[in-house]
């Protein structure tokens, strides 16, 4: 779903002299602006206002595109968009399709053994997961499926099962506001559930933001700015490191604490928790759990979790 404060991806590319090689009603196929691309593999979804480069296996929003094309940080991309495109635009709208790609059939409590076993395989406490997630039944192109569903603040869903990772629009962040001056920031809900599992605490007293994608960071800033301290549990990859830099640039009045050092040898918090939880020796497993709990700060002087 497009942010009406910013220019559309289609218009942004046109302003740079880039036009689709194949133009359809709801999407366009472009030659990738990032590399030699004789067979158009850069798709722009006009309805959702999202891009995806199939050759590079990456995509995102207009903000992500500006960051990549202009080699700038998130903070600079947001400022450039706001400064350049704050005027009223007369851009043709694309008619809404009759059916979305994914259609929700039913939402139920999380009980299916296949989904619970998937969570267990990722070392997630299923009782905690049931508190935050649901069982979502949906259809794609007439075929029915089901998955773990994690709701966002705009009534969209993040969907996961053993074979599928996706979502139901609108894409948005998920926040839990307990009135605290401290907030935790997670990239995805599996990391959030991993943290709750390792702490063995389904109801933390401090606030939480789950981005559900680093592309959603700009949507989280207003909520994050109301906190004195933000503990960032981001992935140990380029996207995570860039998001951390952007957090520090945008949260000028808050202290941003990088927690990724506690799982520096792993891609993310869930991978770390799986590694520690799946030890064969139960004694070692228990010791690892205690060790993890000690490594992540306890509540102390306004900084702890």
Quick one: what percent of the chain has pLDDT higher than 70? 83
> Would you identify the CATH topology of the domain 174-295?
Dna Topoisomerase Vi A Subunit; Chain: A, domain 2 (3.40.1360)
Domain ranges of the chain: 9-84, 102-168, 174-295
CATH architecture of 9-84: Alpha-Beta Complex (3.90)
Between 256 and 39, whose confidence is greater? 256
- Would you place residue 154 in the very low, low, confident or very high pLDDT band (cuts 50, 70, 90)? very high
pLDDT digits (tens, 9 = 90+) for 73-122: 888 888 777 665 433 333 333 333 433 468 899 999 999 999 999 999 99
- State the DSSP code for 274: H
The sign of the dihedral angle between the CA atoms of 197, 198, 204, 207 is negative
pLDDT digits (tens, 9 = 90+) for 178-229: 999 999 999 999 999 999 999 999 999 999 999 998 888 999 999 999 999 9
Predicted pLDDT of residue 6: 66
User: How many angstroms separate the CA atoms of 195 and 200, rounded?
Assistant: 8
Please state, rounded to an integer, the average pLDDT across all residues of the chain: 83
The sign of the dihedral angle between the CA atoms of 216, 218, 219, 223 is positive
Alpha-helix residue ranges (DSSP H) falling in the chain: 9-15, 62-69, 74-84, 113-121, 126-132, 189-199, 217-224, 238-250, 269-277, 282-295
Between 56 and 209, whose confidence is greater? 209
User: How many angstroms separate the CA atoms of 77 and 293, rounded?
Assistant: 37
Exposed/middle/buried for residue 274 (C-beta within 10 Å: 0-12, 13-18, 19+): middle
How much is the pTM? Answer: 0.65
């Amino acid at each position: 779903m497009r942010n009406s404060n910013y220019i559309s991806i289609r218009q942004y590319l046109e302003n740079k002299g880039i036009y689709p090689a194949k133009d359809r009603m709801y999407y366009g196929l472009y030659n990738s602006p990032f590399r030699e691309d004789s067979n158009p593999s850069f798709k722009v979804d006009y309805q959702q206002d999202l891009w995806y480069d199939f050759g590079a296996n990456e995509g995102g929003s207009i903000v992500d595109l500006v960051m990549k094309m202009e080699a700038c940080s998130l903070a600079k991309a947001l400022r450039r968009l706001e400064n350049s495109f704050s005027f009223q635009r007369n851009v043709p709208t694309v008619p809404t399709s009759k059916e979305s790609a994914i259609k929700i059939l039913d939402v139920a409590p999380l009980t299916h053994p296949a989904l619970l076993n998937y969570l267990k395989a990722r070392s997630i406490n299923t009782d905690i997961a049931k508190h935050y997630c649901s069982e979502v039944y949906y259809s794609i192109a007439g075929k029915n499926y089901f998955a773990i569903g994690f709701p966002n603040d705009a009534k969209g869903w993040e969907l996961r099962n053993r074979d599928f990772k996706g979502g139901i629009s609108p894409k948005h962040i998920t926040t839990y506001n307990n009135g605290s001056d401290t907030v935790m920031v997670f990239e995805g809900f599996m990391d959030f559930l991993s943290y709750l599992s390792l702490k063995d605490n389904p109801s933390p007293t401090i606030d939480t933001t789950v981005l559900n994608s680093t592309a959603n960071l700009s949507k989280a800033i207003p909520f994050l700015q109301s906190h004195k301290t933000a503990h960032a549990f981001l992935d140990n990859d380029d996207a995570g490191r860039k998001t951390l830099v952007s957090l520090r640039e945008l949260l000028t009045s808050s202290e941003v604490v990088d927690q990724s050092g506690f799982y520096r040898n792993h891609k993310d918090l869930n991978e770390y928790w799986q590694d520690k939880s799946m030890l064969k020796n139960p004694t070692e497993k228990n010791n690892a759990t205690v060790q993890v709990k000690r490594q992540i700060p306890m509540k102390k002087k306004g900084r702890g979790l």
